[in-house]
């Protein structure tokens, strides 16, 4: 980020007088005080805790300035009405000023894969940056924009939606030149309720698009009411503008042709839907002048990143919501709320497995306890806790939940109940159940997910 404090003040309309405050270069913008280093700019957000409580800590860690919704003493700050809005305004300014080409991807299953494939193809020819992990919401997408390296030429942004209106906001911030909507089919409707609403939400990706934009959408008629008339629309699917032919799937690869590339494409991943994702990615690359030969070569060593949050199937048929790579209190509370809102399967249970969140410092136990109100007695049937600092949360939960529904397994320097935890989960998981697993990477919940997927 190459921005100075006074420049940011102008962009966000800071309300305080900065005439006596020295203008300084800002290094990175960070909302997690653990990530602040020398020269950074702090963004206090409201998560489980109010980020304003961590402003002092951010300065101790090396911040040179902060946004703030209230006056503060002794440090440079920018006073604004709403820190999140200011952050979004700054991202909109930054992406426009940078003149990068923005490619936006939204959709259900497949958007992360499509985003990764587009970025991999473009990176053969251009300095390319893309959404990392699940940073695809109203906080994560602006963060992605503000963290792109200076030399970036193509920016591939994933846009996620939890509620109707989310994508409109994101599109208006990023102003995409090319937008891709992947399949509208949705396994878990969450807050939407219907495929029509999901389609409507996704099609809001056009709201911020430039008038010379190109929109790439599936042949699904459900999107017809939302097609724009001032942009080029490319449809993909049988008998559409672009389509896959001669698809062959083998044990660990796909081979297919398309109507717009001379030669066949080979890629080292399986799943027929991945041919569609790859075709769309190839089309975007071609639009942006990546040579065809380069596209074929890049596909040969395609590597897909693991999703951060993903639905999987246990071997016995149970649904697994796996989010096992990192954890902070806000993310843990949010995923519990999302999981709780999903209707139960007939005759099935809902189970949450929560493990320690690491690096939360002296307030760690209290920060774990702050999750309590996100544990819904009405929607969760069984809770497994695993770790050390999470024990206190487990004790609080035990007082609210019925007997024999809350279980604690220890992991400390002297004891590790991992095998007992893993066995208890296996013993309790039935085919119609839904199970959420969330915790820091080092808690190894990923190994339990793998076990559930592969058990006979
Ligand atoms: O869900 S998120 O992870 N998100 C990030 C962006 O992309 C999409 C997903 C998320 C969101 Cl949406 C919002 C927030 Cl505010 C994460 C956060 C977040 O980072 N929350 C954090 C906290 C809260 N509440 S980070 C963090 C806290 C670190 N902080 C504790 C509280 C460290 C700390 C520990 C002990 C101390 O004494 C002082 C600070």
pLDDT tens-digit series, residues 359-392? 898 899 999 999 999 999 999 999 999 999 999 9
Please state, in angstroms and rounded to a whole number, the distance separating the CA atoms of residues 294 and 122.
Answer: 10
For residues 150 and 195, state if they share a domain.
Answer: yes
296/197: higher pLDDT: 296
Give the CATH number, domain containing residue 71: 3.40.1390.10
Please state, in angstroms and rounded to a whole number, the distance separating the CA atoms of residues 423 and 429.
Answer: 10
| pLDDT of 266 over the 60 cut | yes
- Cα–Cα distances (Å) from 197 to 38, 318, 344, in that order, read 45, 27, 21
How does DSSP classify residue 23? P
Give the nearest ligand 1 atom to 334 CA: 1
Give the nearest ligand 1 atom to 361 CA: 35
The residue nearest atom 17 of ligand 1, judged by CA position, is 330
The answer to the question of residue 89 being in a domain is: no
Give the nearest ligand 1 atom to 326 CA: 3
Please state, in angstroms and rounded to a whole number, the distance separating the CA atoms of residues 38 and 27.
Answer: 8
The answer to the question of residue 90 being in a domain is: no
Give the CATH number, domain containing residue 260: 3.40.1190.10
Domain span at residue 425 reads 310-453
Residue 296's region, left for phi above 0, alpha for psi from -120 to 50, else beta, is alpha
For residues 257 and 193, state if they share a domain.
Answer: yes
In which element (H, E) is residue 282 found? Answer: helix 273-287
For residues 44 and 122, state if they share a domain.
Answer: no
**Domain tally, the chain:** 3
| pLDDT of 73 over the 70 cut | yes
For residues 344 and 440, state if they share a domain.
Answer: yes
For residues 264 and 318, state if they share a domain.
Answer: no
The answer to the question of residue 413 being in a domain is: yes
pLDDT of residue 398: 97
- From 275, 300, 325, the end of a domain falls on 300
DSSP per position, 56-117: HHHHHTT-SEEEESS--SSS-EEE-S-HHHHHHHHHHHHHHHHTPEEEEEE-STTHHHHHHH
The answer to the question of residue 115 being in a domain is: yes
The partner residues of 154 in beta bridges, in order of sequence, read 101, 128
Q: How far away, in angstroms, is 333 Cα from ligand 1 center?
A: 10
For residues 114 and 187, state if they share a domain.
Answer: yes
How does DSSP classify residue 48? S
For ligand 1, whether the C-beta of 135 sits within 6 Å is: yes
For residues 58 and 105, state if they share a domain.
Answer: no
| pLDDT of 187 over the 60 cut | no
For residues 237 and 325, state if they share a domain.
Answer: no
Nearest C-alpha neighbor of 276 from the set 311, 227, 242: 242
HEC per residue, 134-148: CCCCCCHHHHHHHCC
For residues 170 and 125, state if they share a domain.
Answer: yes
**pLDDT tens digits, 194-215:** 788 888 989 999 999 988 899 9
* Other CB atoms within 10 A of residue 268 CB: 13
For residues 118 and 163, state if they share a domain.
Answer: yes
The answer to the question of residue 272 being in a domain is: yes
The answer to the question of residue 95 being in a domain is: no
For residues 232 and 163, state if they share a domain.
Answer: yes
**pLDDT classification of 306: cutoffs 50, 70, 90:** low
For residues 67 and 126, state if they share a domain.
Answer: no
346: helix, coil or strand? coil
The answer to the question of residue 416 being in a domain is: yes
pLDDT of residue 188: 56
The answer to the question of residue 39 being in a domain is: yes
Nearest C-alpha neighbor of 337 from the set 438, 448, 441: 438
Probe target for ligand 1 pocket from 324, 331, 369, 389, with the most ligand atoms within 8 Å of CB: 331
Q: Are 94 and 1 in contact (CB under 8 A)?
A: yes
- From 82, 109, 135, the end of a domain falls on 82
């Amino acid at each position: 980020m190459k921005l100075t404090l006074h420049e940011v003040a102008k962009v966000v309309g800071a309300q305080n007088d900065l005439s006596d405050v020295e203008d300084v270069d800002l290094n990175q913008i960070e909302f997690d005080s653990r990530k602040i280093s020398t020269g950074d700019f702090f963004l206090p957000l409201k998560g489980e805790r109010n980020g304003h409580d961590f402003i002092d800590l951010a300065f101790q860690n090396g911040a040179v300035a902060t946004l703030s919704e209230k006056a503060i003493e002794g440090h440079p700050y920018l006073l604004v009405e709403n820190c999140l809005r200011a952050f979004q305004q700054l991202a909109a300014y930054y992406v426009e000023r940078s003149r990068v080409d923005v490619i936006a991807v939204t959709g259900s299953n497949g958007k992360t894969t499509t985003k990764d494939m587009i970025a991999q193809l473009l990176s053969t020819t251009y300095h390319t940056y893309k959404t990392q992990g699940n940073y695809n919401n109203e906080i994560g997408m602006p963060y992605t924009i503000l963290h792109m390296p200076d030399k970036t030429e193509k920016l591939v942004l994933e846009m996620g939606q939890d509620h109707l209106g989310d994508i409109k906001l994101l599109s208006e911030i990023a102003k995409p030149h090319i937008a891709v909507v992947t399949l509208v089919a949705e396994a878990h409707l969450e807050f939407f309720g219907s495929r029509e609403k999901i389609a409507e939400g996704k099609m809001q990706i056009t709201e911020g698009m430039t008038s010379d934009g190109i929109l790439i959408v599936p042949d699904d008629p459900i999107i017809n009411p939302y097609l724009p008339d001032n942009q080029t629309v490319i449809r993909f699917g049988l008998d559409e503008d672009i389509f896959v032919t001669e698809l062959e799937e083998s044990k660990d690869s796909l081979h297919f042709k398309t109507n717009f590339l001379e030669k066949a494409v080979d890629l080292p991943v399986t799943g027929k839907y991945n041919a569609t994702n790859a075709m769309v990615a190839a089309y975007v690359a071609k639009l942006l002048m990546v040579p065809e030969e380069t596209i074929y070569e890049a596909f040969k060593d395609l590597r897909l990143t693991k999703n951060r949050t993903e639905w999987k199937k246990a071997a016995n048929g149970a649904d697994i919501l796996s989010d096992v790579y990192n954890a902070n209190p806000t993310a843990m509370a949010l995923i519990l709320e999302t999981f709780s809102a999903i209707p139960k399967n007939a005759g099935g249970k809902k189970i949450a497995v929560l493990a320690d969140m690491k690096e939360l410092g002296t307030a760690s136990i209290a920060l774990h306890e702050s999750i309590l109100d996100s544990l819904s007695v009405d929607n969760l049937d069984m809770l497994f806790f695993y770790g050390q600092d999470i024990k206190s949360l487990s004790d609080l939960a035990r007082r609210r939940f019925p007997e024999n529904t809350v279980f604690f397994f220890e992991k400390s320097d002297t004891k590790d109940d991992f095998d007992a935890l893993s066995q208890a989960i296996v013993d309790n998981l039935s085919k119609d159940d839904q199970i959420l697993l969330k915790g820091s990477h080092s808690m190894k919940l990923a190994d339990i997910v793998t076990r559930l997927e592969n058990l006979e």
